[in-house]
Amino acid sequence: MNATMSLEKTKHYPVMLNQVLSIISPQHGGTFIDCTFGGGGYSQAILKFPETKVFAIDRDKLTQKHANILVKRFPKRFNFFQEKFSNLSKVVQQHVNPRAVIFDLGLSSIQLSDKERGFSFESKNFLNMEMGINEYSAYDVINTLDKEHLATIIKVLGEEKDGRLIANKIDKYRRKKPIKTSQDLASIINDAKKNYNKYKKNPATKTFQAIRIFVNKELTELILGLIEAAKLLSNGGVLIVVSFHSLEDRIVKNFFNLYSNLRKNPSRYLPIKVSKSSLFKQISKKPLVADVKEVNENIRSRSAKLRYAIRNNNSFFYPDEFKKKFVNYLELEGGRI
């Protein structure tokens, strides 16, 4: 399979596509939900198999132009909705009975490389960072959010130990004049993180991640999206999530553990306890990762982790520990279940 499945000229690699296809086996036909359409790499690869149907979702209105190409090519088998996947049930009806629901989280390379969106450090454009269907931009957050909240966001969502230091520096600057561009923000963070040359990554990486997650309520979206998928899937349906950083992966891992046969055992010497009230069967506790060839072709795949589980017949329920596990993330982003 050609790794560059782009529907237009931009080089775009659908991450871990071969693993996704081997889990969902579209050659047997059926309906699939692509919750993160992006450049359409997964959807297009599935639609190559004649007995398939795809319902695709993306919150970014700019993905519509990629979707239109597939709508034209597969008018009876492809549907696209510009929507957030936390609203999956608004656009996909229960009777659709999908064989798989797939999430490929985060930003697409198309979004990242579009300087006007303000996701990259070098962008001289408005500090935006909105994926689409947002309540506020990064500009609003950086210039108006309470300093304490800003510090917590940078610490928790960016896993940045210098969260307070950076929030203080941002506050000092914004008192003089508004921080307008991504480049301005990056240089303020660099200023806060003394001796930044010793860092391998740009010192603003973690803070940018934190602000982007907060602006797009990405963790709330993930938690609600997984719930929607679990409700929609029926016996034998597969839930697949490809994630790119530890916060996302932790949520996916906790979600599957709470709902699956592989709950944490009190001792590794005891046999795995199979919960009677599970929703999913996990084949492995360990995530799949991209192979060396893919990592060489697309460096972004290096941090990808793929987890999947198979739905059983039990009715949806919230396990007791559910709120305890996720409530902090939801509160931090201002969302609720």
Binding site for ligand SAM (CB under 6 A): 12, 14, 36, 38-42, 57-60, 63, 84-85, 104, 106, 108, 131, 221
Q: Work out how close the CB of 42 gets to ligand SAM at its nearest, in angstroms, rounded to a whole number.
A: 4
Instruction: Name 282's bridge partners.
Output: 309
3-class secondary-structure state, position 103: strand
Closer CB to ligand SAM, 37 or 173, in the complex: 37
Helix axis angle, 147-157 relative to 163-176, nearest 10°? 140
Q: Work out how close the CB of 217 gets to ligand SAM at its nearest, in angstroms, rounded to a whole number.
A: 8
Closer CB to ligand SAM, 41 or 163, in the complex: 41
Query: Around Cβ 203, how many Cβ atoms within 10 Å?
Result: 23
With beta carbons less than 8 A apart as the criterion, state whether 40 and 56 touch. yes
Q: Work out how close the CB of 127 gets to ligand SAM at its nearest, in angstroms, rounded to a whole number.
A: 18
Closer CB to ligand SAM, 131 or 288, in the complex: 131
Show contacts of 140-145: CB within 8 Å, 24+ apart.
141/211, 141/214, 141/215, 142/170, 142/174, 142/179, 142/185, 142/211, 143/174, 143/178, 143/179
Q: Work out how close the CB of 135 gets to ligand SAM at its nearest, in angstroms, rounded to a whole number.
A: 13
3-class secondary-structure state, position 240: strand
Q: Work out how close the CB of 178 gets to ligand SAM at its nearest, in angstroms, rounded to a whole number.
A: 27
Closer CB to ligand SAM, 162 or 221, in the complex: 221
Q: Work out how close the CB of 38 gets to ligand SAM at its nearest, in angstroms, rounded to a whole number.
A: 3
Q: Which of 291, 133, 266, 149 is CA-nearest to residue 211?
A: 149
The whole-angstrom separation of Cα 157 and Cα 333 is 10
Closer CB to ligand SAM, 12 or 263, in the complex: 12
Q: Work out how close the CB of 221 gets to ligand SAM at its nearest, in angstroms, rounded to a whole number.
A: 4
Closer CB to ligand SAM, 131 or 186, in the complex: 131
Closer CB to ligand SAM, 136 or 196, in the complex: 136
**Tokens found for residue 257:** 């553990």
The distance of Cα 127 from the centroid of its chain, to the nearest Å, equals 21
